[in-house]
Amino acid sequence: MLVKISTDRTKAANVLTFMFLIAIVLGGLASWLFQAPLTKNTALSRYQLLIKPEQIEQVKSIQLTNRLGVFTISKDNSKVWSLTEPRNLPSNQTTVQNILTNLSQIKIRKILSKDAINISNFSLDTPLMKLKLSYYGGKVHTLNLGLLNPFDNSTYVTFSEQEAIYHVDALKGNLESLNLSNFIESKIFTQKISDITHLKIYKGKLPATKARLNILRDKDDWVDANKKTLAPKAVESYLRNLLSLKSSLIIDKRSKKLDKALSKYFTNPSYTMEVAHKNGNKTFYEVTYLINTIPDLKMEKKQTFIIKSSNSPHPYIIEKDKMTLFHKSQRSFKKLSIKKLFY
């Protein structure tokens, strides 16, 4: 009798175990069949983005407001961004790209109710930063950024008239701390070495002058006007120094008296530089002699010179020691022969 009861219990345990295993298998199968689709697919990932890529392409101006001021950047007909508020100056393209990249990568984590309590809790009643996006066609969107959560690297935002608060990934690059100096492009040359196909320096003003320096790109080499190969390291070192040239002062506010003085200096410049780009465009730069005085500006005599660019309405004041960049001649880049290297 005892043996029989034990056997019955064993059979019952086996049946229960088998049924349990079947339940696990069926549950796993159902989970696999009905699981949410992965968002690795590009089309699905778009739904996580607060602002779609095609919207970013249609933005013509961005007004950024933070505790340090109000800054507006605008895109001209040639798709070049410039600072238009609080000053009308060339804009730093790295800062512009940082803003555009951030806007195009705002990923939604959660959607919350846009009620008074949440607005207050997430500091959206006194936002840390505002971004006003103006589009071609007249449409305007406003992005308000509230509380930053450093523990999970997230923030809370509202987007224009949408009745929701979005819990999103935090923006990168400390946009809330940008100041005027971050927006201004102090570099005179905005090209990259890889974009330059031809560089010429003339003594005096075009067209009544001849080139004293002529550097052309020939596939992977740099050559002169006679197709003679130049010393590549010397050329690239020179271009790096030239392209890193920065201004100590940009003249954006001008009186009639100042305009007259500038016109006089550029009537007979010391040098003219021509830079040709891969896209076929050319930029011209006129370089004055060391200047004595200039109205409305306090500067020491013969300590600075001025550069005017064909792609910018604002002349640049440059320190005297940088004038040597324009003194270069063809001999500065002549490639030494094997004999001269050893003798």
pTM equals 0.70
Cα–Cα distance between 206 and 183 in angstroms, integer?
Answer: 33
SS3 category, 145: strand
Nearest to 81 by CA among 56, 55, 54: 56
Q: State residue 79's pLDDT score.
A: 85
Cα–Cα distance between 323 and 304 in angstroms, integer?
Answer: 9
Pairing label, strands 196-203, 129-135: unpaired
Min mean pLDDT across 32-46, 113-127, 165-179, 213-227 is at 32-46
Cα–Cα distance between 240 and 317 in angstroms, integer?
Answer: 20
Pairing label, strands 129-135, 140-149: antiparallel
Q: State residue 153's pLDDT score.
A: 93
Q: State residue 17's pLDDT score.
A: 62
Burial 311-331 (b: 16+ CB within 10 A, else e): ebebbbbbeeebbebbebebe
Which helix (H) or strand (E) covers residue 27, if one does?
A: helix 2-34
Q: State residue 21's pLDDT score.
A: 61
CA 174 to chain CA mean position, Å: 14
Q: Quick one: pLDDT band at residue 298, thresholds 50, 70, 90?
A: confident
Q: Quick one: pLDDT band at residue 304, thresholds 50, 70, 90?
A: very high
> Do the beta carbons of residue 23 and residue 17 sit within 8 Å?
no
Q: Quick one: pLDDT band at residue 6, thresholds 50, 70, 90?
A: very low
Nearest to 255 by CA among 290, 294, 218: 294
Min mean pLDDT across 77-91, 152-166, 191-205 is at 77-91
Strand order, beta sheet including 316-319: 221-223, 211-218, 196-203, 271-277, 282-287, 304-309, 316-319, 249-250
Cα–Cα distance between 26 and 44 in angstroms, integer?
Answer: 28
> What average pLDDT is seen over the chain?
86
Cα–Cα distance between 135 and 130 in angstroms, integer?
Answer: 16
Cα–Cα distance between 281 and 197 in angstroms, integer?
Answer: 10
Tokens of 339: 């004999």
pLDDT digits (tens, 9 = 90+) for 31-83: 444 443 433 444 445 558 999 999 999 999 999 999 999 999 999 887 889 99
Q: Quick one: pLDDT band at residue 165, thresholds 50, 70, 90?
A: very high
Q: State residue 164's pLDDT score.
A: 94
Per-residue pLDDT at 187 exceeds 60: yes
Q: State residue 26's pLDDT score.
A: 61
